[in-house]
């Protein structure tokens, strides 16, 4: 149980560090007493508020005030970890204040071990310039339906590794990694609809896992959708906790 708790903490730390990194690149991350906040104006990401402690009505009122003056759509993630009674209380407070679940994710982790066999035709390449940032941004939008701007990518490229996946010479997907301590967080693995059902996501994940093994990272973390989690389970990841992502109606 102790081990699971530690991996959950590392997962959340990596994810919130990713949002913090993006916010800091635009001088728009704030750490307040009860919550943290990262918003990039005229952007659709990260635009998150997350809590530093148990939720109370007073804290919800503070967050609603913050959202009211924001020009962006703000997502409020809640980690459902192990305290079921507290999870129920948090859900109830949010719902009473007109917050609704927009989408859910599953926190998963993998202890690094052996290398995977790879397809010779699928490669990943680090984004290193404006032209590649534009390709990544468009592929991501085609995959997920919202945009991470080229400006965001270029401003954070020293702290976040953005990858374009290629099949032969055709760009077929995106991925990103972010390192905290000795943990590699995998993010933004996306395949445009016309490229799906060809095994590309699994090949990208194998390439990223191999990167983690080769760099001797202790743990790999990610947040999966219900649709994508089976790929990760197949690769050895373990389901550990639920993330409910709320928006204010």
Residue 65 has pLDDT above 80, yes or no: yes
Query: If DSSP codes are grouped into helix, strand and coil, which group holds residue 29?
Result: strand
Same domain, 105 and 156: no
- Number of structural domains (the chain) is 2
Same domain, 82 and 166: no
Residue 2 has pLDDT above 60, yes or no: no
Same domain, 185 and 149: yes
C-alpha–C-alpha distance, residues 106 and 109, integer Å: 10
CA distance readout (Å), 129 to 133, 196, 202: 6, 27, 26
Same domain, 60 and 151: no
Which pLDDT score, from 0 to 100, does residue 1 have?
Answer: 33
> How large is the average pLDDT for residues 28-39?
96
- Where is the domain boundary, 54, 88, 111? 111
What is the pTM (predicted TM-score) of this model? Answer: 0.94
The parent domain of residue 213 ranges over 122-218
Confidence of residue 86 (pLDDT cuts 50, 70, 90): confident
Confidence of residue 84 (pLDDT cuts 50, 70, 90): confident
Same domain, 45 and 76: yes
Which pLDDT score, from 0 to 100, does residue 52 have?
Answer: 87
At 145-169, the pLDDT tens digits run: 999 999 999 999 999 999 999 999 9
CA angle at 5 for the pair 102 and 115, rounded to the nearest 5°: 90
| Residue at token pair 């750490």 | 31
How do beta strands 122-126 and 183-190 pair?
unpaired
Contacts of 24 (CB under 8 A, 6+ apart): none
Confidence of residue 106 (pLDDT cuts 50, 70, 90): very high
C-alpha–C-alpha distance, residues 132 and 191, integer Å: 16
How do beta strands 219-224 and 183-190 pair?
parallel
Of the two residues 81 and 162, the one the predictor is more confident about is: 162
Say if 237 falls within a structural domain.
no
- Residue 169 has which token pair? 């010479």
Which pLDDT score, from 0 to 100, does residue 23 have?
Answer: 97
Say if 56 falls within a structural domain.
yes
Same domain, 95 and 154: no
At 117-139, the pLDDT tens digits run: 998 899 999 999 999 999 999 99
Bridge partners, residue 242, by sequence: 80, 106
């Amino acid at each position: 149980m102790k081990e699971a708790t530690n991996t959950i903490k590392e997962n959340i730390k990596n994810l919130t560090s990713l949002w913090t990194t993006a916010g800091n690149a635009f001088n728009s991350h704030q750490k307040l007493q009860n919550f943290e906040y990262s918003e990039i104006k005229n952007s659709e990401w990260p635009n998150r508020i997350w809590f530093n402690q148990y939720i109370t009505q007073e804290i919800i009122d503070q967050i609603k005030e913050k959202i009211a003056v924001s020009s962006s759509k703000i997502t409020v993630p809640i980690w459902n970890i192990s305290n079921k009674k507290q999870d129920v209380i948090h859900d109830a407070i949010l719902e009473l204040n007109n917050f609704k679940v927009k989408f859910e994710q599953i926190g998963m982790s993998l202890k690094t071990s052996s290398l995977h066999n790879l397809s010779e035709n699928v490669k990943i390449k680090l984004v290193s310039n404006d032209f590649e940032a534009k390709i990544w941004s468009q592929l991501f939008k085609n995959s997920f339906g919202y945009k991470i701007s080229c400006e965001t990518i270029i401003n954070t490229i020293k702290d976040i590794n953005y990858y374009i996946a290629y099949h032969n010479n055709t760009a077929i997907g995106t991925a990103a990694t972010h390192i905290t301590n000795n943990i590699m967080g995998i993010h933004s693995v996306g395949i445009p609809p016309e490229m799906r059902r060809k095994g590309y996501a699994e090949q990208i994940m194998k390439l990223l896992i191999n990167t983690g093994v080769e760099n001797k990272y202790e743990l790999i973390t990610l947040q999966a959708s219900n649709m994508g989690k089976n790929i990760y389970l197949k690769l050895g990841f373990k389901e550990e906790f639920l993330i409910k992502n709320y928006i204010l109606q």
